[in-house]
Structure 1
Amino acid sequence: MNFTDLKIFLHLTQTQNFSKTAAQNHMSPSTLSRQIQRMEEELGQPLFLRDNRQVILTETGVKFLTFAQQNWHNWDVFKQQLRSTSQELSGELKLFCSVTAAYSHLPQILEKFRARYPKVEIQLTTGDPALAVQIVEEKQADLALAGRPLNLPHSLEFQPIDDISLSLIAPRVACVATQLLQHDPIDWQQIPFILPVEGPARQRIDEWLRHKKIKHPKIYATVSGHEGIMSMVALGCGVALLPDVVIKNSPISTQVSSLNLDVPVAPFELGICVQKQSLASPLVKAFWSMLKKVR
């Protein structure tokens, strides 16, 4: 077994799809299948349970995943250390952030980093910001832009880069929500809410609801990703508490209105999170040093 085997195995655990992993690693599905079978024969245990619909790690596969992640990380750090002593810094750096952060905060960081280290390849993945911390914990990314959680895992470092304010928004189209908002006083118990599944924005709306003594809010939907929530509010599905940066940068910002709140909503810190042990990597360390010049 070699480091290429570990790389293929790790890729397959992320895609959970033999065809995708084979295509992205320039091999046929049958070649990939034989490579995994060879690894399983060497270990004497199956690594995956697979059928026509899904690929799932076995108990042995879960244990081997930890081994593969640690050893691939050590190998990557070693290669980067060799490069840093012999030539200009190069290699691949995996970043994760939300769609909005990809153009609201990330460019100014990347601009400085790319100017200093032009040979470093940036692999950027976007998605639900509420998953950012988890993605770094699971080593699916080296660094991630994330809202600071209430309880930061001890294994992570967090560098703040901005304070994110939030607003409660409502649709501008005529709908049930806008009709109910015209009542004086507003019966918040009857207003339909669209909530993020988790994350700092969800924590802030939960705190606001508790302060307003709304024990059982009327939830129209829970959505992964702030951009999707914007669309649902604009369509008239309900109201939502969202970061102002998301509202401002949305192409449908003119289709929603911000509500005046008698109870203010506390902002949350936006920053970069990284595993402490990853700071041993020259690439990660170089990126981390750039952050002090951003805020």
Structure 2
Amino acid sequence: MDTRSLGVFLSVAETLNFSRSGAALHMSVSAVSRTVARLEAEVGQPLFERDRRNVLLTRAGREFREFARRTLGEWQHLQRQLGSEGELAGEVSLYCSVTATRTLLAPILASFRSDYPAVDIMMHTGDQADGISRILGGQDDLAVSIRPLELSRRMDFLPLLHSPLQFCMPAAPCQVRERVLEDLARGGIQWSGVPLIVPERGTTQEMLEDWLRERGIRPRIYAQVAGHEAIVAMVSLGLGVGIAPQLVIEASGVGEGVEVLSLEEAPLPVLSIGLAALRQRLASPLVRALWDVAGRTYPAAL
């Protein structure tokens, strides 16, 4: 029984979905299932009840969840003790999107390296929508993420900056752009006739669904895409209208290929972007040091 297997179990225990945990952990569903099966064999009892629709923790699973949390916490405490002598040293695992590495993180890491040169940052990149799941599953110490609509009680969130969520259309002449401009000239976009490119999961997907539902809109979904950067790229190619944070649109290499749609009468929400971490992990001097440096770097968002 190793710490990685415990982390996989905790992810499934949180999501109650093998596919979602697999996507967040960058593992196949079969690999997640094998890991859980090995743990169940070691425990000697089923940890989950499964059918075609639901995954639920068994009584043994609930007890094992507490054991897994306690064991990972004690392991992290031991690591802190072993590295506590003298200069702060060790490794912090950080998950973020490609855009975050180029924009938001650059000044944080510059200050952190200056203050703590003996601490290594283990960077993992991918769709920011996976950040919260990776934190809950124990794969990373910290994640740059959009604040979720519902934050787990086990987590803390440090806001660093705010960015409005925006609709954008192709900047170059194309069929999609012409259709949108014609609709706007007539009084409003007819979403049933405009191809819409949306996130396949995450907080922005939930926000968009709420926005559409509140207005009784049934859109024409052209594609569901992982990552806002990919959405902006597809819009720039003339494939449809998309949504992305203003931060991503401005930072992407194809930002000039899209044009933000101003819908003042019904704007999309403003996103809070920051660091997420398990409260248990913030007891680590290494993790807390990076957290504190980030807060000093972006004090205006607090």
Q: Same fold (TM over 0.5)?
A: yes
> 1:266: Cα distance to partner?
2.6
> 1:79: Cα distance to partner?
2.4
Structure 1 length normalisation: TM-score? 0.76
> 1:282: Cα distance to partner?
1.7
Flag the 1:246–1:219 CA change in 2: closer, same or farther, 3 A: same
Flag the 1:92–1:70 CA change in 2: closer, same or farther, 3 A: farther
The amino acid across from 2:157 in the alignment is: F
| In 2, Cα distance between equivalents of 1:8 and 1:169 | 40
> 1:232: Cα distance to partner?
1.2
| In 2, Cα distance between equivalents of 1:96 and 1:6 | 22
Flag the 1:133–1:44 CA change in 2: closer, same or farther, 3 A: closer
Flag the 1:68–1:216 CA change in 2: closer, same or farther, 3 A: same
> 1:77: Cα distance to partner?
1.9
Verify the 8 A CA contact 2:245 2:271 in the aligned structure 1: no
Flag the 1:144–1:8 CA change in 2: closer, same or farther, 3 A: closer
Match of 1:217 in 2: 219
| In 2, Cα distance between equivalents of 1:91 and 1:70 | 21
**Match status 1:284 vs 2:283:** no
> 1:71: Cα distance to partner?
2.1
Flag the 1:65–1:256 CA change in 2: closer, same or farther, 3 A: same
> 1:83: Cα distance to partner?
2.4
Flag the 1:269–1:9 CA change in 2: closer, same or farther, 3 A: closer
| In 1, Cα distance between equivalents of 2:110 and 2:264 | 40
Verify the 8 A CA contact 1:177 1:191 in the aligned structure 2: yes
After superposition, give the CA deviation of every residue in 1:104-130 in whole Å (9 maximum; x if it has no partner): 111111122221111111111111111
Verify the 8 A CA contact 2:147 2:274 in the aligned structure 1: yes
Over the aligned positions, Cα root-mean-square deviation in angstroms equals 3.2
Verify the 8 A CA contact 2:169 2:242 in the aligned structure 1: yes
Equivalent residue of 1:241, what SS? strand
| In 1, Cα distance between equivalents of 2:134 and 2:114 | 27
Flag the 1:7–1:242 CA change in 2: closer, same or farther, 3 A: same
| In 2, Cα distance between equivalents of 1:8 and 1:221 | 34
| In 2, Cα distance between equivalents of 1:135 and 1:16 | 12
Match of 2:253 in 1: 251
Flag the 1:167–1:241 CA change in 2: closer, same or farther, 3 A: same
Verify the 8 A CA contact 2:164 2:269 in the aligned structure 1: yes
| In 2, Cα distance between equivalents of 1:44 and 1:260 | 58
Match of 2:129 in 1: 130
**Match status 1:232 vs 2:234:** yes
Please, which runs of 5 or more residues in structure 2 have no aligned partner?
Answer: 10-24, 29-37, 48-57
| In 2, Cα distance between equivalents of 1:281 and 1:127 | 25
The amino acid across from 1:257 in the alignment is: E
Match of 2:94 in 1: 95
Verify the 8 A CA contact 2:191 2:217 in the aligned structure 1: no
Flag the 1:10–1:165 CA change in 2: closer, same or farther, 3 A: same
Flag the 1:197–1:113 CA change in 2: closer, same or farther, 3 A: same
Flag the 1:232–1:68 CA change in 2: closer, same or farther, 3 A: same
Flag the 1:265–1:141 CA change in 2: closer, same or farther, 3 A: same
> 1:46: Cα distance to partner?
11
Match of 1:149 in 2: 148
Match of 1:267 in 2: 270
Please, which runs of 5 or more residues in structure 1 have no aligned partner?
Answer: 18-36, 48-58
> 1:233: Cα distance to partner?
0.7
Match of 1:76 in 2: 76
> 1:163: Cα distance to partner?
0.7
> 1:65: Cα distance to partner?
8.1
Flag the 1:201–1:8 CA change in 2: closer, same or farther, 3 A: closer
After superposition, give the CA deviation of every residue in 1:98-157 in whole Å (9 maximum; x if it has no partner): 110111111111122221111111111111111211111111111111111111111111
Report how many residues are paired.
262
Match of 2:51 in 1: none
Over the matched positions of the two proteins, sequence identity in percent amounts to 36
Q: Say which one has the larger Rg.
A: 1
| In 2, Cα distance between equivalents of 1:116 and 1:246 | 29
> 1:189: Cα distance to partner?
2.5
After superposition, give the CA deviation of every residue in 1:150-198 in whole Å (9 maximum; x if it has no partner): 1111111111110112321101344432221132323232111101123
> 1:227: Cα distance to partner?
1.0
Flag the 1:11–1:187 CA change in 2: closer, same or farther, 3 A: closer
